Every structure is written in structure tokens, then in C-alpha cells.
Structure 1
Amino acid sequence: MIHWRRGTVTTIRSTRPGYTEVEADIDQVLPGTTITHVKAVAYTEAVGHPQVGDSVLLNVSALAKRLGTGGFGLIVALPDALPADPPEGPGHLVKDRYSPLQTMVLGVDDQESEHHEILTREESLSGMPVLAADLHSALPAIIAGIRAVDPELRIAYVISDGAALPAIFSQAAAGLKDAGWLHGTISTGQSWGADLEAVTIHTGLLAAKHVLGADIAIVAQGPGNLGTGTKYGFSGLVTGEHLNAAALLGGSPVGVLRMSNADARGRHFGISHHSLTSLIEVARPGVTIPVPDFSTLAEADRREMEIDPAVMSEVVAAQLPMLHMHDQVTVSVDGLWAGLKSSPVGLSTMGRKLPADAAAFLAAAAAGRLAAEL
């Protein structure tokens, strides 16, 4: 299951709170290669702070399997420089449960939390818009759309456990917070390491509303979407359940359409089958579905992107009848291109940047615009 290697840190590549990226020499080549020098990531709250010359124990399975995402090793331990025990304090919520790196945190809904009484009392989102997205890459684009309406709205990112479990792995979330675009983060389920910890999406959403004081919540998995090319075998399927949770709690569920004008796989061109499957078969009827109107693109903006608005409009129009059980709202994308280009973090989805797959980011931004208008 795991490809283990011992290594020695040779370079510190970058660091930010909770996260350090290094280069390391490893004691055995990766399978089928001559590679003995790798990039690796340390989650410093879990394993400590690696320094040049430190011995490290590495999980290199992603490198051994040549995965497109996760192209680095993971530092599991610094055997000769183990961190001190954490200070005594409250919290008995266990995340990444029963794995070798299970961690114990103070949950916002934990009995020992100062917010426990609030989450015991409050059971409604009181109409707060909740956007649910399939891909983590939609996060900055959604926020760009929200800010196009009102840059003062407080936005919370509720992280599911469908992909990266350490919330700190998200460079986008860190950059958005630093820029003041994102008010706070909440890791739910097995995910850990955000500003607040919660047991479920439900308590995560309630904490977004009643603890962080958010006006809008965005629910999405972290980086590292998993898909198998089968109808139900993708980690974003639970988007439908996230929308159901928002509805159950009295929020306003908004389904973010995953779109592409550049994906060579037919099942993802136009509206991705991932969105269609989760919205048609998992989400309960009545979700608000923002549909970007590509005909509203300004000509000057259109010249900067690799998209044919007429083709996209035709493809999407043919798919929309499948979503008849939901409330479809046409949203102008006029002016959103400038907002996307102003993002303080890079925009990239499945390796494609902003100009190449404009539809992906415009659809997410349109969802943000509509949620802000709600």
C-alpha cells in the first residue's frame, strides 16, 4: 500500500504556517526509475519542522505511481528530531482516525469548545447562501464573483474530506485569506488543520454562520480530486449531499456547475457529468443552479480567452433540460473576467490556466455573483 523511503533533507524550498516543502535525497530509487532526489512536503503541526541535514521517513507512493497530482513525497516523521508533545489543553475530536497519523484537535462542536453552547442552540442557517462545488479550483473564482457584487461580504470555506485531508495543503485558501478575500476556513469530517474543526458538514456550516459570522459559505473538497471514469466513482459526488445539508439547515443551496471548454474528455465538456450526476441523482430538487450566459461576454474580454461563446451556449443549452428539477437562473458574466484576473492566487483547473479553460472559471464566478445577489 505504501512505498517507504528514508531520506535526508538537502534544501528547504518554501514554507508557510503549518507547511514546509523540501528536497531530499532518498536511500532507494523510485520503482522503474533512476530517481534518488525528490520534493517532499511536511505538515509541520503534525511532524515538526525539517531542517537541512535532517533524516526523514517518507511516503513516496504518489511518485512511484506517477500521479499527476501529488507529485511529491510526504514526510511521515523526523526520526531524530521528533517534536515535543503538544501542550495540555481541551479537545478530544480525532481526525484521520485510526491511520498512523491520526491527530486530536479541539472541534468547534466539541463539548469542551467555547462554541459548543452556540452550536447546541443554533440549528438554522437562516437563508445563508451555501455554494457547493465539485473541484477545489473553483474556490477563488467563486469568491471573485462574490466580490464583483460586494467585496465586503464575509466568506467562509467549509472543507470536506473528499480530497486532501490537511487543510493547510491548500495554497489557494492560504493566499485568499492573506489577501482578505476569505474570512475563515473550517475543516470537516476527516479533514483537519483549518481555522476551525468540525465533525460534519452540518456543524461546519452552522459554525460558518454563527461562529465566523459568514454571509456566504463555500463547500468544496481540498486539492486532489479523485475520479475513476465511472459514473459514481468520483470524490465530488458528495456535492449533492452538501447541497442537501444546506437545505436541511435552512440555507439557500447553490449548485456550482463544473464546466469546461477545453477538456478533451467528452464527459466533462460543457457541463461535466460530475455536476450532472450529483445534481440529478443525489441532490434533492429545488437547488438554485446559476447558468452562465456566455453571450454576455464583452468582445475585449472574449479576445483574451480561448472560448467560443456560441459553441458553449449551444452545448450547455442541450444539457440543461436534464436539470429540470432544479431552479435554473441565467447569470450574466459581463465584468467577471476582470474580477478573475484580479485573483490574488493563480487560477488553474486540471492543469489548465485561466485563458485556456475560461468556461470553468466563468461558471464558478457566475455562481458567486448569484449567491451574493441572494
Structure 2
Amino acid sequence: MATRLRRTMKAELVRCLEAGEDIQRFEVESEVFYGTAVNYPQLTGEAQVGDEVLLNTTAVELALGTGGVHFVISNLSRRSAPVHAVGHIMKLRYTPMQTNVTCIEEDDHPQHRWVADFSSLDGKPIVLAMLHSMIAPAAAGVQATFEERCGRRARIVYLMTDSAALPLAFSHLVRELKERGIIHTTVTCGQAFGGDVEAVNIYTALMASSAADVVIVAPGPGHVGTGTSFGFSGIEQGHHIDVVNQLGGEAVVIPRISFADPRERHRGLSHHTATVLTRACQTRSTVVLPQLPDDRAKQIDEELRKQRVGDRHTIVKETGETAVAYMKDHSLDVKSMGRSAVHDPAYFLAAGAAGVYAAKHLLCMKVGL
């Protein structure tokens, strides 16, 4: 039976909670509700306390987790509010919120040559994540390894796909990682927008990222899963394996591993990772397993053996402890499904191990460190 929802409501912005160039958060109130709303200046112009706005209230009506806030559709007090956008390629195409951006594929883009002159990734490891929260431990693993072996930080590009949140600005995590210098540059591809570089698709986004030391590909916040074998947004990881191979890189897969998830299908090796590695890709990848206690390592090994993952992919083991320690040292309090590295260590160790592996592999390629 269909649920009757109030998808839109008018409200007043009563207090500013966050005032960034690319995102604003306000407390809002109307005659019937009080809550929090997000405004994207790129889409609806800069808003101010006292403005009357039209909100999309669907997420709150459905009591969602990630994204469970109101979103400003229109500023009724500033109907002609200017937005700062240039370029000729549209994102959020054919929706009322469509916005123009300058993509790296356009001839007049200052970095256009990265696409026009691209030939190959030359074996560069590209870290492929299924969930947004994996970015932090993966990046921490890369930086911990670079700082130990090179005495400098790596230049990491975060490439955000369009299978989850579309505005990069919604991610507090990415903002924090950039402010701390752990991630250097962001690229948004497809319908996703707001990165330092915009790209039309995953191919050109990887080309745009090719000057980085390490690239981490992951969706934005808001992964969708359904409990079915193919009904989850992270299935794009399979396609990404093939794209990286087509462009001459090494696809480094972060497996989704947890021993704290209450759902049986995600305990041990997630069925999502099994689907990606056995049914959703056509080419080979390097699957990095973290070093775990013997009983849990044996469980993962057995699950991979049953799925015959080793027949199609290269399986390696690497430490993720240095990544988790790096996160702690830099006060990165990251959670996945409400669980931190303390409560779900295997999840964070897996992502960290992939970052460590990618950094070591790259440094061996470059200077034999």
C-alpha cells in the first residue's frame, strides 16, 4: 500500500548551523514541524536566517538515516538569488535542480590535457571502495605508509561516483580529510557534482586523477542495499574493476568484512563483495585482506575458497593496523553503520590494508622502496 507523504513544505530558516561556500545547514520551523535543513548555494543560492523556503521533506517523513534531513528546493524570499556556476555541461540533468558545470572534457578546461593526452594508468593502483566510510581508513593507510617510507604525504585523489549522494558537499568526512591534508583533490563524475574537478564519467574521471599518487574511488554517503544479490548501489565496484583494467591500472579492491554486523549476510565476507567479485566484473583485481585473528582469517579464507574467488582474482594479505593507528593519531572518528574501529575493527582494517598495499605497490614501482 502506498504511503501518503508530505514531500514539500514551507518553513522559515531560524538559525544557521553551518555556513560553507558549498553547503549551509539551518534550523527550520513552521507551524507544524521543527527540524534541520540543508541548502546548496550552487543550486538555490545563498540563504540567510529569516528566509522562507520550500523544503523537500521526504527523507524526514520516511525517518531515513543518512540524508534524513530536509533539503531546500527554493528560496521563496530570494526568488532571483544568484548562483555561482560556469560551464556548459549539466549535472542533475532534466530535473528542476539541474546545474551547469565545467567538466575536464571541455576544451577550455585548464586540465583538459589530462584527458586529451591520456594514454594509460601505467599500472597505477586504484583503490576501489564500496562504501563512503572506507575512504578514511584507506587514505590513512596510504598516508601512514608514505610518511614512514618517504617522509612526505601522498597526493591522494578521492573520485566520487554517482551511485549514492550526488552533492560532494554533503560529506562531512571528505571536508575533514581535505582540511587535514589527508586527501588532496576531489573529482566528481557522472551526475555527482561539487568536486575540485568535474568529469562526465568514470573513465575520464580516472584520467583526470592520473597525476595523483593514489586514487580512491568510492560513492558518496547514502549506500542503498536491499538484501538481494544484485540490488545494491555498491555493485558498481564490479564495473570499476573492469574500467581500471581497460585503462591500464591495477584494480585494488576493498572487501566488505565485518564481524559486528548483526545481519548474517554481511557477517564475515559480505555477500555484496562476493557478488562483485564473482558475478559483476569480467576482469581481474587484487583483493586485499587484512591481517586478522586466526579464527576470523580462516573464516574469510574459507568463504573466498567456496566462492572460488582465487580463480578469478589475486588475493593478498596486508596489515591494516597502521591505518587504524593513523586515524587514531589524527583524531579521525569515523563510523560505519554507527560502528567505529573499536566496535568493528575488521571493517576498518580491510580498508586500511588496501591503502597500505596500494602505497607500498606504488612506491615499489617508482623507486623500489
Aligned counterparts, 1:16-31, within 5 A: 16-27=20-31, 29=32
| Other structure's SS at 1:223 match | coil
* CA drift at 1:83: 5.3
Q: 1:6 and 2:10 equivalent?
A: yes
The separation in 1 between residues aligned to 2:304 and 2:330, in whole angstroms, is: 29
The separation in 1 between residues aligned to 2:245 and 2:56, in whole angstroms, is: 40
* CA drift at 1:253: 0.7
Q: State the one-letter code of the partner of 1:370.
A: Y
Aligned pairs, how many?
A: 349
| Other structure's SS at 1:218 match | strand
Alignment deviations for residues 258-299 of structure 1 (CA, whole Å, 9 cap, x no partner): 1112101011111111111112112234201111111xxxxx
The separation in 2 between residues aligned to 1:288 and 1:72, in whole angstroms, is: 38
1:110 to 103, 106, 111: 106
Q: 1:367 and 2:354 equivalent?
A: yes
* CA drift at 1:42: 0.7
Contact 1:175 1:344 in 2 (8 A): no
Q: Once structures 1 and 2 are overlaid, which stretch shifts more, 157-166 or 42-51?
A: 42-51
- CA change 1:335–1:248 in 2 (3 A) is same
TM-score by length of 2: 0.90
Match of 1:338 in 2: 325
Match of 1:170 in 2: 171
The separation in 2 between residues aligned to 1:111 and 1:339, in whole angstroms, is: 40
Moved over 6 A (4+): none
Match of 1:218 in 2: 216
Match of 1:96 in 2: 92
| Unpaired stretches in structure 2, ≥5 consecutive residues | 148-152, 362-369
Q: 1:280 and 2:278 equivalent?
A: yes
Contact 2:258 2:267 in 1 (8 A): yes
Contact 1:47 1:83 in 2 (8 A): no
| Other structure's SS at 1:349 match | coil
- CA change 1:188–1:371 in 2 (3 A) is same
The separation in 2 between residues aligned to 1:349 and 1:234, in whole angstroms, is: 16
* CA drift at 1:249: 0.4
- CA change 1:217–1:88 in 2 (3 A) is closer
Match of 1:154 in 2: 155
Q: 1:261 and 2:259 equivalent?
A: yes
| Other structure's SS at 2:71 match | strand
- CA change 1:81–1:174 in 2 (3 A) is same
The separation in 2 between residues aligned to 1:278 and 1:88, in whole angstroms, is: 37
The separation in 2 between residues aligned to 1:41 and 1:150, in whole angstroms, is: 37
The separation in 2 between residues aligned to 1:10 and 1:234, in whole angstroms, is: 37
Q: State the one-letter code of the partner of 2:345.
A: A
Q: Once structures 1 and 2 are overlaid, which stretch shifts more, 337-346 or 177-186?
A: 337-346
Q: 1:356 and 2:360 equivalent?
A: no
Alignment deviations for residues 193-246 of structure 1 (CA, whole Å, 9 cap, x no partner): 11010001110010011xxx2011111000000111111111000011111111
Q: State the one-letter code of the partner of 1:318.
A: E
Q: State the one-letter code of the partner of 1:136.
A: H
* CA drift at 1:334: 4.3
Contact 1:154 1:215 in 2 (8 A): yes
Q: Percent identity?
A: 36
Q: Once structures 1 and 2 are overlaid, which stretch shifts more, 14-23 or 168-177?
A: 14-23
Contact 1:144 1:339 in 2 (8 A): yes
The separation in 1 between residues aligned to 2:83 and 2:301, in whole angstroms, is: 55
Aligned counterparts, 1:176-255, within 5 A: 176-209=177-210, 213-255=211-253
Contact 2:59 2:69 in 1 (8 A): yes
| Other structure's SS at 1:13 match | strand
Contact 2:257 2:270 in 1 (8 A): yes
The separation in 1 between residues aligned to 2:191 and 2:333, in whole angstroms, is: 27
The separation in 1 between residues aligned to 2:84 and 2:140, in whole angstroms, is: 39
| Other structure's SS at 1:11 match | strand
TM-score by length of 1: 0.89
Q: 1:81 and 2:78 equivalent?
A: yes
| Unpaired stretches in structure 1, ≥5 consecutive residues | 30-35, 295-308
- CA change 1:313–1:346 in 2 (3 A) is same
Match of 2:366 in 1: none
| Other structure's SS at 1:6 match | strand
Match of 2:135 in 1: 139
Contact 2:224 2:233 in 1 (8 A): yes
Q: State the one-letter code of the partner of 2:64.
A: L
The separation in 2 between residues aligned to 1:264 and 1:21, in whole angstroms, is: 33
